[in-house]
């Protein structure tokens, strides 16, 4: 499973990219608002840090406007994927943009039917929102599994991105389901790399190594005395 970072923060993108694990980035208007800087310049900078797809969301509501905005967003960099909310207008715009070779990430997907339609419209990515389904007492991971199964029955290129991830178990389950990609907030990414036994193991190895150096020093001193 490939890992995307779900963030519009340049410092988080730089840090995650430096780990060598990052295959792409997703942003949305809420994440952009948190950064408080010009969205397009931030996205351009992110595109220069990450080789893989960087999703930038169109906020227009009609197909004509979404297409125009999508073309503008795609002009920011070669690795832009235009994020478009699912719906009749979004699907129509997705068909036009994907026919022009522009990658679309169909977002705010909550049902198998929406995912089927996104794939039919030529979306390169479809993003089921697991956490928001959990929030309303629905089985987000179950829905994700159904979407991965349904699209997997056909020879289509649409990839599934597990989105709205809230904790490391979401990532583990998404991988076990066979999801193509998980887009992970930085706080969750930090939790994924942590394990108390790793910390304990490193501390133990270091102290044993230092004890060995002290012993070798003693042996050298004894040999020098002879
Ligand atoms: C990513 O594509 C989504 O916009 C994001 O994962 C939504 O996450 P949230 O439900 O925590 O806002």
Residue located nearest, by CA, to atom 7 of ligand 1:
164
- DSSP labels for 9-52? -HHHHHHHHHTT-EEEEE--HHHHHHHTS-HHHHHHHHHHH-SS
Same domain, yes or no, for 137 and 111? yes
Beta strand 54-57 pairing with 80-85: parallel
Q: Is the pLDDT of residue 213 over 90?
A: yes
Same domain, yes or no, for 51 and 121? yes
Same domain, yes or no, for 139 and 207? no
User: Relative to the CA of 26, which ligand 1 atom is closest?
Assistant: 2
Mean of per-residue pLDDT scores for the chain:
97
∠ CA 178-160-45, nearest 5°, is 120
> Does the Cβ of 163 fall within 6 Å of ligand 1?
yes
Residue-wise pLDDT tens digits, 130-173: 999 999 999 999 999 999 999 999 999 999 999 999 999 999 99
pLDDT of amino acid 171: 98
Q: Is the pLDDT of residue 226 over 80?
A: no
Residue located nearest, by CA, to atom 6 of ligand 1:
164
Same domain, yes or no, for 215 and 149? no
Same domain, yes or no, for 132 and 211? no
DSSP class of residue 209 equals H
> Residue range 55-70: average pLDDT?
98
Contact 44, 54 (CB under 8 A): no
Same domain, yes or no, for 47 and 131? yes
Residue-wise pLDDT tens digits, 22-56: 999 999 999 999 999 999 999 999 999 999 999 99
Same domain, yes or no, for 56 and 93? yes
CA 24/CA 47 separation, integer angstroms: 9
Domain holding 224, by residue range, is 195-226
Residue-wise pLDDT tens digits, 77-132: 999 999 999 999 999 999 999 999 999 999 999 999 999 999 999 999 999 999 99
CA 87/CA 141 separation, integer angstroms: 22
> Residue range 66-76: average pLDDT?
98
pLDDT of amino acid 225: 78
Same domain, yes or no, for 23 and 37? yes
Same domain, yes or no, for 151 and 139? yes
Residue located nearest, by CA, to atom 9 of ligand 1:
164
Q: Is the pLDDT of residue 203 over 80?
A: yes
> Does the Cβ of 29 fall within 6 Å of ligand 1?
no
Residue located via tokens 């920011």 = 76
- DSSP labels for 127-155? EEBHHHHHHTTS-HHHHHHHHHHHHHTS-
Same domain, yes or no, for 103 and 34? yes
Confidence bin at 224 (pLDDT 50/70/90): confident
Count up the domains in the chain and report the number: 2
Same domain, yes or no, for 36 and 111? yes
User: Relative to the CA of 132, which ligand 1 atom is closest?
Assistant: 10
CATH number, domain containing residue 119 = 3.20.20.70
> Does the Cβ of 79 fall within 6 Å of ligand 1?
no
83 is catalytic: yes
**What is the pTM (predicted TM-score) of this model?**
0.95
Same domain, yes or no, for 185 and 202? no
């Amino acid at each position: 499973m490939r890992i995307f970072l779900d963030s519009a923060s340049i410092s988080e993108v730089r840090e995650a990219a430096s780990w060598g694990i990052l295959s792409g980035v997703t942003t949305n208007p809420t994440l952009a608002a948190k950064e408080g800087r010009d969205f397009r310049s931030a996205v351009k900078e992110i595109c220069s840090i990450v080789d893989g797809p960087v999703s930038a969301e169109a906020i227009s509501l009609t197909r004509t406007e979404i297409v125009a905005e999508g073309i503008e967003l795609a002009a920011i960099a070669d690795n832009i994927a235009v994020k478009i909310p699912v719906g009749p207008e979004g699907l129509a715009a997705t068909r036009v943009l994907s026919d022009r070779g522009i990658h679309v990430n169909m977002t705010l997907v909550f049902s198998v039917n929406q995912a089927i339609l996104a794939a039919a419209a030529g979306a390169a990515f479809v993003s089921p929102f697991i956490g928001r389904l959990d929030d309303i007492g629905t089985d987000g991971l179950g829905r994700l599994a159904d979407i991965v199964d349904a699209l997997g029955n056909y020879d289509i290129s649409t990839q599934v991105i597990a989105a709205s991830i809230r904790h490391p178990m979401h990532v583990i389950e998404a991988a076990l389901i066979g999801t193509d990609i998980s887009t992970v907030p930085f706080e969750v990414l930090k939790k994924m790399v942590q394990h108390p036994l790793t910390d304990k193991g490193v501390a133990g190895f270091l102290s044993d190594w230092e004890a060995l150096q002290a012993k070798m020093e003693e042996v050298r001193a004894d040999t020098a005395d002879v």
